[in-house]
Amino acid sequence: MTNDRAGLFYIDGDWCEPVAAAPAIPVIDPATETPIGAVAAGSAADIDRAVAAANRAFPTFADSPVAERIALLGRIAALLEERTEDFARAIASEMGAAIGFARAAQVPFAIAHVRAQMEVLADYRFERQEPGFTLCKEAIGVCALITPWNWPLYQITAKVAPALAAGCPVLLKPSELSPYSALLFAQVMHDAGTPAGVFNLVGGTGEVVGAALAAHPDIAMISITGSTRAGVLVAQGAAVSVKRVVQELGGKSPNILLPDADFAQAVPRGVMAGMRNVGQSCSAPTRMLVPADRLVEVEALAASAAAEWRVGPPSDEATTMGPIANAAQYARVQDMIAAGQAEGARLIAGGPGRPAGLDRGFYVRPTIFSGVTRTMRIAREEIFGPVLCIMPYADEDEAVAIANDTVYGLGAHVQSGDPKRAKAVARRIRSGQVHVNYPAWTAHAPFGGYKQSGNGREYGVHGFEEYLETKAILA
């Protein structure tokens, strides 16, 4: 299916050719560094066509009964579940996720976003009476959605599901680096009976398609997940038309291990959390903050945990860590590992280059540095790879100070044997989410950042309300 649709866009309820011919964008298999296909590159003219379709659909869809929108989301979720294996294999080939991880996390978590929005919509009050006025919540309008390559399906459903629940037609621009899962998703939307114009997909680059979306005067809102640099460019383009901008951007998340934590459990789980998805998660806890007098113990536990990862081809059922998703990111990770060594951080696991026996593909050795200080690049810059920094602290106040010493504020973790103490520390951390003692993930907890990690929130009712306008009727 992906090859059949690779040269097409999905606009106004059907697959269509680009308005103008342009060189196709190659898709590279990160496990082999070879092309596995190519996708169409969109233009501003394609965006105009899709926006016109979405605007035609808006009045009817915004007014559609809640029950109809819940039913549509239910059909989408059912089709995603039915086609889980197709999506898992697409994600493994396009961005290198281990097939087991794609099946266990990438796809199920994406489906969870759709289910969560069905639950939100079932209970939401779009109109309520307040003293002296009626408060109305209404669909904001046509929404542009820009999604990244690292969690390709998950980030699509995190945006599409709340937009549809709110009654907003959407125009999706998936990453051109991992586009096949998005094409599969577009077919799901078609097969689910989504009304024409309500869901549209135009592929291409951020410089062309992303810029056209940001600047388009008939788009009411744009939501982007990506780098802080990309988020800034989108916000600048959107400012001219004063559209709403929701950004989920970079991170450098701390993981504070308080002295009373169970280190035998907390350290290995912290390594796993920092390195899952090959460390390519904006909220990955890549700074492990530990008591200085426990540093030797932590290093041994962490090095042992890093050795447990099995790096190899994504299609191999035994693989737990596939390659980095693309060549540019692989070069970035190697550069940051070299920077850590040059700045004097102590390498206790991994290091530069590929793991032994893997001479081809964007494979990285699971890497851990210790003795990392606040001023080092590896402590300050987002690496986006399986590279963990262990940073010692003297006391709780210093731990919090180190945790907050970053331009980012997306996620954080706190480990403690005392839940009350852990929550007290969590309240002092400047980030949009804080996980205490590795809790279960939920698609209802709001997700988004402080500082340069973004604006607005995704997931659950908070993500849903980003797609609504607020009206007060005084009578």
> Could you tell me the CA-to-CA distances from 84 to 4, 103, 433 in Å, in that order?
19, 7, 28
> How many whole angstroms from its chain centre is CA 429?
21
Task: Check if the beta carbon of residue 377 is closer than 8 Å to that of residue 327.
Answer: no
Residue type, 408: Y
The residues assigned a catalytic role are: 248, 282
Q: What is the 3-state secondary structure (H, E, C) of the chain?
A: CHHHHCCCEEECCEEECCCCCCCCEEEEECCCCEEEEEECCCCHHHHHHHHHHHHHHHHHHHCCCHHHHHHHHHHHHHHHHHCHHHHHHHHHHHHCCCHHHHHHHHHHHHHHHHHHHHHHHHHCCCEEEECCEEEEEEECCCEEEECCCCCHHHHHHHHHHHHHHHCCCEEEECCCCCCHHHHHHHHHHHHCCCCCCCEEECCCCHHHHHHHHHHCCCCCEEEEECCHHHHHHHHHHHHCCCCEEEEECCCCCEEEECCCCCHHHHHHHHHHHHHHHHHCCCCCCCEEEEEHHHHHHHHHHHHHHHCCCCECCCCCCCCCECCCCCHHHHHHHHHHHHHHHHCCCEEEECCCCCCCCCCCCCCCCCEEEECCCCCCHHHHCCCCCCEEEEEEECCHHHHHHHHHCCCCCCCCEEECCCHHHHHHHHHHCCCCCCEECCCCCCCCCCECCCHHHEECCECHHHHHHCCEEEEEECC
Residue type, 158: A
212, two tokens = 């056209």
Other C-beta atoms closer than 10 Å to the C-beta of 374 total: 12
